[in-house]
Amino acid sequence: MDIVVKKLPQSKAELSITLAWDEWKKEMDHAAEHMAKDVKIPGFRPGKVPRDVLEKRYGKEALLMEAAEHAVSHSYARALEQEKVDAIGQPEVKLETVKEGEPLIYAITTAVMPEVKLAEWKKAVKEANAAHAKKMATLAVEPKEIEDELNRLATMRAKFVTVARPAQLEDSVEVDFEVKQDGVVIEGGKSEKHPLVLGKGVFIPGFEEGIVGMQEGEEKTMTLSFPDDYHATHLAGKPAEFAVKLRLVQERQIPIVDDGFAKSLGSFETLEDFKKTLSEGILEEKKNKGKEEGRTAILDALVSKSTIEFPEILVAEELNRMTQEFQSQVEMMGIPFEQYLEHSKKSLDDLRKDWDEQAKKRLSAGIILEKLADEDEVEIDSKEVEEEMNNTLQYYKRVKDAEKNIDLERLYASTRGRLRNEKVFEMLEKL
C-alpha cells in the first residue's frame, strides 16, 4: 500500500492511497458474498449464488465497485494507523481508478485533530499563578457570612403553625380556586386545598397579593390579567376571573439561634462551638472554589497564548454536547426544552451561535491539556484508573439498574483523561 499524506487548511488532511491489484483482488470474492446475500435468483439458495452468475446478472462493473468499497473500508483504517493520522468525523472518499487487474487508486479527505501552537505560555501561567496566590492569601470568613448561614439554617428549620388572623406575606396558606374566562373554567384552572407560600411569586401578578388580608373561610373573586409573556400563548395578556376561598393560614416560626439550636444540629455544646465549625466549613468551601478559579485562570492564560485551527465537525460536536447538557439542566427544573426556547424567544440555532466562542474555548482547553500531557509524558497507571472507576461504579450500583447502561470503555477513557488532566494541572500550579 502506497500512501501520500497532504495537509490541508482548516485542520484537514488528504490521503492519496494506491493498492496493488494483488492487495485488493481478494475483495472481489468478499463483494460477491455480500451481494449474494441480498439477491434472489431462481435455482439458488440465498447467499449461494455463484460469482459468475452475479457478474452476468449485474455486470462486472457493479462487482468491482462493491469490491472497491470493501477495499477502501479495510485499507483506510490501516493507512491512518500507519501514517499516525488522528482523523475525526466522516471522511470524503473519491475513487480515481477502479479496474480489474490494476491498482486501486483513491483519495480520502478527512478532518483531523488540530495542531496547537503555544507561545510564551509558561510566563502567562506563572503570572496567573502569582495573581491567584495573592488572592488566596487574603481568604477569610467574615462575621456576616457566619450570621447569614445561621439565619439560612434557621429558616430551613422553620415550622408552620396554624394561626387565626388575616393572611400575610410569607404565610403558608391553602386555597380553593377556580379560573374562568367568559364564564368557562380554563384548562387546569381549578384546584382544591392548593398549598401556597405568599410572596413567592408562583402565581400570576396580583393573585398572591389579593389573598393577603383574607381570613380563613373567606371567599373573594379577583379580575386579573395574564402576563404578556405567559407561556400559554392563548392566555397571554388576557383577563380572567379568579374565584378564591382561603381554607388555612399558617405562620412561619423560625427557631431562635442559641445554644439549643446548635445542639439540635449535631454534637455541639454551645453556639460558639458550632460557629467555629461553620467558619471552618465556609473557609474550606472558599479554598475549593479558589482552586477552581485558579485553574480557570491557568486555562485562560494557556488559551490566550494558543493558536488552533478548528475543523467545523469538532466545533459542531462540542456544540451538540453543550446543547445536551443545557437541555438536561432545563428539564431537571421541570421546564420542557421547547417551552424554554419559546419563552426565551430563541431558536436552537440562536443558542448554538451564542455558544460558538465558548465551544472553541472548551475545545482549546482540552486539546492544550492533552498536548502538555503528551509533551511531559504524563502516564496514568491502569490500577489507578480502575480504582477510580470502581468508586464511580459503586455510586451507580446504588441507583437501580443504572450500572447496566454504563459503557465501560468510555468510562475508562474519560476516567483516564480526568486523572491525566489532574496531573497536568498539578504541574502547572507549581510554575
Contact 131/297 with Cβ under 8 angstroms? yes
Maximal C-alpha separation, the chain = 99
CB atoms inside a 10 Å sphere around CB 246: 21
CB atoms inside a 10 Å sphere around CB 357: 9
C-alpha cell belonging to residue 135 = 488572592
pLDDT of residue 404: 61
Q: Which CATH number fits domain 159-253: 3.40.50.300, 3.40.1620.10, 3.10.50.40, 3.20.20.70?
A: 3.10.50.40
pTM of model > 0.75: no
pLDDT in tens, the chain (431 residues): 999 999 998 889 999 999 999 988 888 777 766 666 666 666 555 556 566 666 666 667 888 888 898 899 889 999 999 999 989 888 999 999 999 899 999 999 999 989 899 999 999 999 999 999 999 999 999 999 999 999 999 999 999 999 999 999 999 999 999 999 999 999 989 999 999 999 999 999 999 999 999 999 999 999 999 999 888 888 999 999 999 999 999 999 999 999 999 999 988 999 999 999 999 999 999 999 999 999 999 999 999 999 998 888 889 999 999 999 999 999 988 888 988 888 888 899 999 999 999 999 999 999 999 999 999 999 999 999 999 988 888 776 655 555 566 778 888 888 999 999 999 999 999 99
CA–CA separation, 161 and 158 (whole Å): 10
pLDDT of residue 89: 83
Residues 6+ apart with CB under 8 A from 251: 160, 161, 162, 163, 168, 171
Listed residue (194, 162, 156, 153) closest to 177, CA to CA: 194
pLDDT of residue 44: 59
**Ranges of each domain in the chain:** 2-113, 122-156+271-308, 159-253, 310-375, 381-431
- 3-class DSSP state for residue 58? helix
Side-chain-side CA neighbours of residue 110 (13 Å): 19
CA–CA separation, 431 and 129 (whole Å): 8
C-alpha cell belonging to residue 304 = 490566550
Contact 250/161 with Cβ under 8 angstroms? yes
C-alpha cell belonging to residue 428 = 502547572
Contact 4/15 with Cβ under 8 angstroms? yes
- Find out if CATH 3.40.50.880 is the number for domain 2-113: no
Q: How far, CA to CA in Å, does 83 sit from each of 1, 86, 199? A: 12, 9, 67
